[in-house]
Amino acid sequence: MNNAMKSFKDTLSTAKNVLILSGSGVSAESGVPTFRGSGGLWRTYQATYLATPQAFKANPSLVWEFYEYRRDVASKVHPNKAHEAIANFEKKLVKEGKNVTIVTQNIDGLHQRAGSDNVLELHGSLFKTRCTECDNIEVNRTIPICPALEGKCAPDPDVMSSDIPVEELPRCQKNSCGGLLRPHIVWFGESLDEEILDKAEKIVETCDACLIVGTSSIIYPAAMFAPRVAERSVPVAEFNLEDTEATKHFQYHFRGPCTVTVTEALTL
């Protein structure tokens, strides 16, 4: 074990209120596509084009096909060793009367499937829907989410048309509302859930150790969470395949797959 890892493990052994910030890098090791960069296409579309209220308004069939593809992929992959190490670490500290909060930018639910309980999903969940009429939020893990989407969601770039009638897309079942459902995702141009953000802000201000796991620290406001922790002289450890713009702010940086580095750090 190198000196930096030993030092950080010693820090964790005395911490009582730990913040773990996670991003797409940890789920990528389970096989979840990140849709990052010029090659991050679904069919011929950049994910950033589809993840907007404007895209949903213009073509809800196309957006639902994209998210149904992502739901299908996420449902078939499994939590990896990093997810499991985080869940086991949380359980260990909770038994000791301590606290671990996972604040994730991921929408795949893999932390919860690994056994983590205290998870704040900043950007929503692939397995929740929200009604565009009554705003009711429901958990839905049915694949496909509606019959009309079955077999329609392949990422094949030769598939261009998305013409499912809006009446056949997912509809709200609460009190016979019947409104069009949308993925419960915070899209570009939308605000984060204030209640979730408030909880995240509180742990940022009170934690006594912080791990950043598989995130490039470029998406705001999450990008500022760890630097704000570091400003309080609280130990922050970054786990990533490479350095990021924020690396210079942190006391520790462990380069390599999260399944290796995070597992080692959290095995106390």
Q: What is the pLDDT of residue 268?
A: 82
- Tens-digit pLDDT string for the chain (268 aa): 589 999 999 999 999 999 999 999 999 999 998 876 556 789 989 988 999 999 999 999 999 999 999 999 999 999 999 999 999 999 999 999 999 999 999 999 999 999 999 999 999 999 999 999 999 999 999 999 999 999 889 888 887 678 899 999 999 999 889 999 999 999 999 999 999 999 999 999 999 999 999 987 666 777 889 999 999 999 999 999 888 777 888 999 999 999 999 999 999 8
Question: Among this protein's residues, is 184 annotated catalytic?
Answer: no
Q: What SS3 class is residue 196?
A: helix
Q: What is the pLDDT of residue 39?
A: 60
Q: What SS3 class is residue 216?
A: coil
Please answer whether residues 137 and 184 qualify as being in contact, where contact means their C-beta atoms are separated by less than 8 angstroms: yes
Residues in binding site:
67, 70, 105-108, 131, 134, 172, 177, 214-216, 240-242, 258
Q: What is the pLDDT of residue 157?
A: 84
Q: What is the pLDDT of residue 115?
A: 98
Contacts of residue 89, Cβ cutoff 8 Å, sequence gap at least 6: 18, 100, 266, 268
Q: Which residues of 20-44 are buried (b: 16+ CB within 10 A; e: fewer)?
A: bbbbbbbbbbbebbebeeeeeebbe
Q: What is the pLDDT of residue 38?
A: 52
DSSP code for 78: -
Residues in binding site for NAD(+):
105-108, 214-216, 240-242, 258
The pair phi, psi for residue 219, each rounded to 5°, is -95, 120
* Per annotation, catalytic residue among 78, 83, 111, 123: 123
Residues in binding site for Zn(2+):
131, 134, 172, 177
Contacts of residue 199, Cβ cutoff 8 Å, sequence gap at least 6: 101, 120
